[in-house]
Structure 1
Amino acid sequence: MYFKIKKASNNKEFYFVAYGNNHEIILVSEMYTSKQSAKHTIDVIKTQSSSAPVYDDSL
Protein backbone atom coordinates (compact mmCIF):
# COMPACT_ATOMS: atom_id res chain seq x y z
CA MET A 1 0.00 0.00 0.00
CA TYR A 2 1.15 3.51 -0.75
CA PHE A 3 -0.27 7.03 -0.80
CA LYS A 4 -0.06 9.95 -3.22
CA ILE A 5 -0.88 13.49 -2.13
CA LYS A 6 -2.49 15.54 -4.88
CA LYS A 7 -3.59 19.13 -5.35
CA ALA A 8 -7.23 19.72 -6.26
CA SER A 9 -8.16 21.38 -9.53
CA ASN A 10 -9.04 24.58 -7.64
CA ASN A 11 -5.32 24.74 -6.71
CA LYS A 12 -6.25 25.50 -3.08
CA GLU A 13 -7.03 22.15 -1.50
CA PHE A 14 -5.23 18.84 -1.14
CA TYR A 15 -6.35 15.23 -1.06
CA PHE A 16 -4.68 11.85 -1.10
CA VAL A 17 -5.19 8.61 -2.93
CA ALA A 18 -4.34 5.24 -1.39
CA TYR A 19 -3.17 2.49 -3.72
CA GLY A 20 -2.89 -1.24 -3.13
CA ASN A 21 0.19 -3.29 -3.91
CA ASN A 22 -1.35 -4.00 -7.31
CA HIS A 23 -1.36 -0.19 -7.95
CA GLU A 24 -5.14 0.00 -8.01
CA ILE A 25 -6.95 2.76 -6.12
CA ILE A 26 -8.27 1.68 -2.73
CA LEU A 27 -9.64 5.03 -1.60
CA VAL A 28 -9.73 8.74 -2.34
CA SER A 29 -9.79 11.06 0.65
CA GLU A 30 -11.84 14.12 1.39
CA MET A 31 -10.41 17.57 0.60
CA TYR A 32 -8.02 19.23 3.05
CA THR A 33 -7.18 22.92 3.28
CA SER A 34 -3.52 22.15 3.96
CA LYS A 35 -1.06 19.55 2.78
CA GLN A 36 -0.04 19.01 6.41
CA SER A 37 -3.59 17.93 7.28
CA ALA A 38 -3.55 15.37 4.48
CA LYS A 39 -0.17 14.07 5.65
CA HIS A 40 -1.44 13.84 9.23
CA THR A 41 -4.43 11.74 8.16
CA ILE A 42 -2.14 9.42 6.20
CA ASP A 43 0.01 9.00 9.32
CA VAL A 44 -3.07 8.18 11.40
CA ILE A 45 -4.20 5.57 8.87
CA LYS A 46 -0.74 4.01 8.79
CA THR A 47 -0.45 3.75 12.58
CA GLN A 48 -4.02 2.72 13.43
CA SER A 49 -5.13 0.57 10.51
CA SER A 50 -3.57 -2.65 11.79
CA SER A 51 -5.74 -2.53 14.91
CA ALA A 52 -8.95 -1.24 13.28
CA PRO A 53 -11.93 -3.53 13.71
CA VAL A 54 -14.02 -4.60 10.74
CA TYR A 55 -17.79 -4.36 11.09
CA ASP A 56 -19.88 -6.32 8.61
CA ASP A 57 -23.12 -4.43 7.99
CA SER A 58 -24.02 -6.55 5.01
CA LEU A 59 -25.73 -9.19 7.11
Structure 2
Amino acid sequence: MGYYVIKKSEKDIAQPYYFQLKADNHEIIAVSEMYSSKDAAKKGIASVQKNGPTTTIKDETV
Protein backbone atom coordinates (compact mmCIF):
# COMPACT_ATOMS: atom_id res chain seq x y z
CA MET A 1 0.00 0.00 0.00
CA GLY A 2 2.88 2.40 0.65
CA TYR A 3 3.30 5.18 3.17
CA TYR A 4 4.46 8.78 3.57
CA VAL A 5 7.48 10.01 5.54
CA ILE A 6 7.83 13.66 6.56
CA LYS A 7 11.47 14.79 6.59
CA LYS A 8 13.35 17.96 7.50
CA SER A 9 16.42 19.13 5.61
CA GLU A 10 19.61 19.39 7.61
CA LYS A 11 20.37 22.65 5.81
CA ASP A 12 19.24 25.97 7.31
CA ILE A 13 16.76 26.97 4.59
CA ALA A 14 13.44 28.82 4.51
CA GLN A 15 11.49 25.73 3.42
CA PRO A 16 13.09 22.76 5.15
CA TYR A 17 10.20 20.26 5.21
CA TYR A 18 9.33 17.71 2.54
CA PHE A 19 7.81 14.27 2.28
CA GLN A 20 8.66 11.02 0.60
CA LEU A 21 6.20 8.46 -0.71
CA LYS A 22 7.61 5.00 -0.05
CA ALA A 23 6.56 1.57 -1.29
CA ASP A 24 5.91 -1.33 1.07
CA ASN A 25 9.49 -2.47 0.45
CA HIS A 26 10.64 0.95 1.79
CA GLU A 27 11.94 2.20 -1.57
CA ILE A 28 11.28 5.86 -2.37
CA ILE A 29 8.64 6.28 -5.08
CA ALA A 30 8.39 10.08 -5.05
CA VAL A 31 9.76 13.15 -3.27
CA SER A 32 7.72 16.32 -2.75
CA GLU A 33 8.59 19.95 -3.16
CA MET A 34 9.92 21.79 -0.11
CA TYR A 35 7.52 23.30 2.44
CA SER A 36 7.92 26.04 5.06
CA SER A 37 6.27 24.04 7.86
CA LYS A 38 5.41 20.50 8.86
CA ASP A 39 1.70 21.37 8.61
CA ALA A 40 2.20 22.53 5.02
CA ALA A 41 3.91 19.21 4.22
CA LYS A 42 0.94 17.37 5.76
CA LYS A 43 -1.40 19.40 3.53
CA GLY A 44 0.75 18.40 0.56
CA ILE A 45 0.32 14.74 1.51
CA ALA A 46 -3.45 15.24 1.81
CA SER A 47 -3.50 16.79 -1.66
CA VAL A 48 -1.64 13.84 -3.18
CA GLN A 49 -3.98 11.42 -1.43
CA LYS A 50 -7.03 13.28 -2.75
CA ASN A 51 -5.80 13.92 -6.30
CA GLY A 52 -3.57 10.89 -6.79
CA PRO A 53 -5.96 8.03 -7.53
CA THR A 54 -6.04 8.09 -11.34
CA THR A 55 -5.32 5.79 -14.24
CA THR A 56 -4.55 8.59 -16.70
CA ILE A 57 -1.01 8.70 -18.10
CA LYS A 58 0.12 11.71 -20.14
CA ASP A 59 3.31 11.29 -22.16
CA GLU A 60 4.86 14.69 -22.84
CA THR A 61 8.13 13.36 -24.25
CA VAL A 62 7.04 13.78 -27.85
Give the structure-1-normalised TM-score.
0.80
Summarize the alignment of residues 1-59 of structure 1 with structure 2, pairs less than 5 Å apart. 1-10=2-11, 13-51=16-54, 53-59=56-62
Please, which runs of 5 or more residues in structure 1 have no aligned partner?
A: none
RMSD: 1.9
Q: Which runs of 5+ in 2 are unaligned?
A: none
> What is the rounded CA distance, in whole Å, between the counterparts of 1:24 and 1:58 in structure 2?
26
Cα deviations across residues 16-53 of structure 1 (Å, max 9, x unaligned)? 11101221101111211111110001001011111363
If the length of structure 2 is used for normalisation, what is the TM-score?
0.77
Tell me, what secondary structure is at the counterpart of 1:53? coil
Query: After TM superposition, what 4+ stretches of structure 1 lie above 2 angstroms from structure 2?
Result: none
| Structure in which a larger fraction of residues adopt helix | 1
Q: CA deviation at 1:11?
A: 5.3
The number of aligned residues is 59
